[in-house]
Chains A and B, each alone.
Chain A
């Protein structure tokens, strides 16, 4: 507040000095505000990752260990499965989430509050509970099968669980709130009058959406998709409970290595490779879609 007053009252000639003082003050404040979280991140994120790198990049026969991991059919399959499941989850959450976010953007405040509440509500439930709920719904004697038999669509239970479909269904449900909320936040920043302007110039509703709103919402789409994709890469419980062996994701393999086989080295190598692949993906993605505009980059 006082900083703002300073700059305003300063004469043009003395402009530079107060600005410096101002930014210095802000810097110190910023530092103080950022210190706790930086410390937390340094201690509990950066340091463990550094230890993991150290374990994965040192010792004898490092190269040989990497070659073994990359050549082993288990890990390559699991890596590809992880990417496939995460991509599918992202695409489906996007397709389901975009219309909801759009409706929220232009909905009445009352309606908006209710829908937001419904979106956030499942977030309060534990992953395990939500995954078990899907087991009850999709099981051999589950509600979906019983219903289909009762209606007469099928005459014996079909296998819904322990498949790619059940894993993606479970993950989509878990990731959907994140997708909707991120999209909604991005859409709020789009000036609604631009749509009106398009209408005034004779564009149909669909055309004004397709030519004005959709392109403006794309940075939000790219950002939200990336967020969902990267989060999905690390899923463990849902594929373990709802998937079959073909839906094994990399976290499951890492847990097996670290806690059953006590092979921390290979687990670290798998973790490092996952981080490496993810970073590359994010860089390429950013090149193509420049998502850093979302958080203020150019």
Chain B
């Protein structure tokens, strides 16, 4: 018997998404909460009726690991709560995210995490180190997924993220505002304190685009580091802060510590839409991660059967749409855009208009070249 629990969760989400399309985040979340509270635990009922199998599943959680904070809240709202509601399978969330921890568990042959949503380079590391387990396509419904979500074979495409140029709207209210990385570098025309990510990628890509390399993958890689660092020398005195964390980026624009910043689009939108920061995103030459982030089932996972059900759920358009509306990172399942109103859709990295203007980052290339580049970058920062 094919279980309908996941389908039920999806149907409920779809209803809420349709009903609240265009509403603000707060109303949307409260509506979502109200629905969750009024839905009976179907699996719980089934367990009481003595259905075998379901009762066991209801007691064993699926364990995952993540960043905590706003990420945890958004993951719970979009993936975990709707999933648990109908399957009765609880989710155990460990934070903070730490790849070395997962790797240590794998090396010790004592994996305690079932499922992980891995960002950029970690997706590639998981595969390289053989930490991923094969997926059961009998349980996971491939037909509801976008082709890009299946590019790894053993994973489900997750979210999209861009690092974007964000500028102070008070300072440049009109059309003549900073748009490109060349503008970011132009301290005469657009004076003001600036901030960038303290990480070699995508800082060197931004530098090369400022130096005239087009937002095109073929032209960008392999990175010409000498040229990139020459360009970075120009901007270095004007970078007040090299940020290292998500909340720090938001503090920088909310307290107007800087006027121009290269930051994560979701954090920027959260500050702009929910916290009244008078800033704007320029999607020109955005540094786009594409479909590199994915959900993996880990080898040696303690609860693989329940985890497989979760993986059947997380790639679908409905939970991805909830996630995009909660934390402003884009879906990889393009059908999710049906549930997102146009105004918000234009603030997401995978929206075709934005993706077209972006540089699609080459994580495969970075996974081979990160070490030396990072050492050079850190040495440059201290010089």
| A54 shortest CB reach to chain B, Å | 15
Query: Which residue on A lies nearest to B121, using beta carbons?
Result: A260
**Are A78 and B382 touching (Cβ within 8 A)?**
yes
Which residues of chain A are near B244, meaning CB under 8 Å?
240
Cβ 8 A contact of B99, one of A78, A256, A259, A263:
A259
**Total interface residues on B, using CB and 8 Å?**
28
Q: Which of A136, A141, A262, A263 has the most CB of B within 10 A?
A: A262
Would you call B381 an interface residue if the criterion is a C-beta within 8 Å of the partner chain's C-beta atoms? Answer: yes
Complex CA gap A253/B244 in Å reads 12
Say if the beta carbon of A72 comes within 8 Å of chain B: yes
**Minimum distance in angstroms from A245 CB to a CB of chain B:** 4
Contact among A78, A141, A256 with B255 in the assembled complex (CB-CB below 8 Å) = A141
Q: Is B378 an interface residue (CB 8 A)?
A: yes
State which of B240, B245, B255, B382 has its C-beta within 8 Å of the C-beta of A73.
B382
Query: Which positions 230-269 of chain B face chain A at CB distance < 8 Å?
Result: 240-242, 244-245, 248, 251, 255-258
Decide: A139 near B242, CB < 8 A? Known: A72-B379, A264-B100.
no
Query: Between A and B, how many residue pairs show CB distances below 8 Å?
Result: 65
Complex: how many Å from CA A258 to CA B101?
A: 10
- Cβ of A276 < 8 Å from any Cβ of B? no
**Are B257 and A141 closer than 8 Å at their CB atoms?**
yes
CA of A35 to CA of B103, assembled, Å: 33
- Residues 68-84 of A at the B interface (beta carbon under 8 Å): 72-74, 77-78
Q: Quick check: A161 and B257 within 8 Å, CB to CB?
A: yes
A167-202 near B? 1/0 per residue, CB < 8 Å: 000000000000000000000000000000000000
CB B307 to nearest CB in A, in angstroms, measures 25
**Which of the residues A240, A241, A245, A262 comes within 8 Å of B382, measured between beta carbons?**
A245
- Contact among B125, B245, B248, B257 with A139 in the assembled complex (CB-CB below 8 Å): B257
Q: B214 near A: Cβ within 8 Å?
A: no
Task: Give the total of A residues in contact with B, Cβ under 8 Å.
Answer: 30
Answer whether A74 and B240 are a contact pair too, CB < 8 Å, given A139-B255, A261-B374, A262-B103: no
B170 to chain A, nearest CB (A): 11
Query: If the complex has contacts A140-B193, A141-B257, A246-B382, are A241 and B248 also in contact, measured as CB distance less than 8 A?
Result: yes
Say yes or no for B198: interface residue by CB 8 A criterion.
yes
- Shortest Cβ distance from A139 into chain B, in angstroms? 5
Does A256 lie within 8 Å of B378, measured CB to CB?
A: yes
A262 CA to B98 CA, complexed, in Å: 11
> Which residues from chain B contact A141 at a C-beta distance below 8 Å?
255-257
Q: Is A162 close to B, CB under 8 A?
A: yes
Interface string of B354-383 (1 = CB under 8 A from A): 000000000000000011001100110111
Within 8 A of A (CB), among B159-204: 193, 198-199
Bound CA–CA A260/B371 (angstroms): 9
A259 touching B100, Cβ below 8 Å: yes
A72 to B251, CA, bound (A): 33
Report the bound CA distance from A110 to B22 in whole Å.
61
Q: Does A248 contact B (CB under 8 A)?
A: yes
Q: Write the nearest CB–CB distance from B236 to chain A, whole angstroms.
A: 9
Question: How far is the CB of A282 from the nearest CB of chain B, in Å?
Answer: 27
**Binary contact track A56-90/B, C-beta < 8 Å → 1, others 0:** 00000000000000001110011000000000000
- Nearest CB on A from B168, distance (A): 11
Task: Give the chain A neighbours of B374 by CB distance below 8 A.
Answer: 256, 260-261
* Interface residue ranges, B against A (CB under 8 Å): 98-100, 103, 125, 193, 198-199, 240-242, 244-245, 248, 251, 255-258, 370-371, 374-375, 378-379, 381-383
6 chain-A/chain-B pairs, Cβ below 8 angstroms: A74-B375, A74-B378, A74-B379, A139-B257, A253-B378, A258-B100
